Amino acid sequence: MKKSDNKLQVEDFLATKLRTFARLSERDLACLAELQAKPIQVKRGKELAHEGQAGHAAYILQRGWACSFKLLPDGGRQIITFPVPGDCVGLRSVLLRTSDHTFTALTDAVVSRVEAPKMMDVFNEFPQLGAAILWATSRDEAMVVEHLVSVGRRSAIERTAHFFLELRDRLQLVGLAMNGRYQCPLNQYVLADALGLSAIHVNRVLRQLRERQLLTFHQQTVTIHDQMKLKALAGYDCPDAMPVVIRDAATD
């Protein structure tokens, strides 16, 4: 394991994640590495893709956090999801020439841009890899559904608990969470926009979670103290009945 210089040589979170879904060949891994060979530094707050503009490219988020959201006429916004390292964003706009929301970097970040034709080549030449990528993306979209369930039917505290549990699982996939503890560079305003709450109420909910000794969110660090109780509270299902390894699900 090499992890010495962190100039541009960044740990390949995407590969880490995909390997839990599928067995990847050396060639697959090489392809992944090539896709990410020309990383782009993105400053915090910068927009990656704008609603409507089908940028016709996807991005692999290599380092840092982002968010995708929709704005409302009254200025409010709803955050759809927080891409974390190893996530692909805008894939749908590549496959189908529609881009539906805006992506913004929440922290300074490093991304790789993958043009649509290049991505199509990958799908053709590395079906295993392509299937794994699609699978991971599909999993993310399922999370949007779960998010909808949260916002529609769970109370503020349940919703918040659920959110942090889900985030934990996603980060664990790329090795960014350990023992129910992870870095989370979100502030309470951003959380509020994701959870469909006001920032002030987020604060109150966080206090409750802290007082109940379930979870602490302090100094950009989330610590889960009592996983069992937290899952019970959130109604958090089977940690994602994420089935079997992909064999040949691709376009065979």
Interface residues toward a copy of itself, by CB under 8 A: 52, 54, 70, 72-74, 76-78, 80, 92, 95-98, 100-101, 120, 123-124, 131, 134-135, 138-139, 141-142, 144-149, 151-154, 195-196, 235, 241, 243, 246, 249, 251-252
Rule CB under 7 A: choose which of 27, 43, 50, 204 binds DNA. Answer: 204
Residue among 52 and 189 whose Cβ is closer to DNA: 189
The CB-of-79 to a copy of itself minimum distance in angstroms stands at 8
Partners of 182 in the β-ladder:
177, 222
Residues 19-38, interacting with DNA (CB under 7 A): none
The CB-of-76 to a copy of itself minimum distance in angstroms stands at 5
Distance CA 10, CA 20 (A): 19
Partners of 42 in the β-ladder:
109
127 alpha carbon, distance to own chain's centre: 23
Give pairs for 24-27: CB < 8 Å, separation 24+. 24/128, 24/129, 24/132, 25/128, 27/126
Distance CA 154, CA 160 (A): 9
The CB-of-190 to a copy of itself minimum distance in angstroms stands at 13
Structure tokens at 151: 């916002």
Residue among 2 and 218 whose Cβ is closer to DNA: 218
The CA-based angle 38-33-134, given to 5 degrees, is 105
**What residue 200 binds from a copy of itself, DNA, none (CB within 5 to 8 A, per partner kind)?**
DNA
The number of residues that bind DNA (CB under 7 A) is 17
54 alpha carbon, distance to own chain's centre: 20
Residue among 39 and 55 whose Cβ is closer to a copy of itself: 55
Three-class SS of 171-182: HHHCCCEECCEE
The CA-based angle 210-216-217, given to 5 degrees, is 125
**What residue 198 binds from a copy of itself, DNA, none (CB within 5 to 8 A, per partner kind)?**
DNA
Distance CA 213, CA 225 (A): 6
Structure tokens at 154: 């769970």
201 binds DNA (CB under 7 A): yes
Structure tokens at 234: 């959130």
The CB-of-133 to a copy of itself minimum distance in angstroms stands at 11
The CB-of-219 to DNA minimum distance in angstroms stands at 7
Stretch that binds DNA, among 64-72, 87-95, 199-207, 243-251 (CB under 7 A): 199-207
156 binds DNA (CB under 7 A): yes
Residue among 139 and 181 whose Cβ is closer to DNA: 181
Contact positions vs DNA (CB under 7 A): 155-157, 187-189, 196-201, 203-204, 206-207, 218
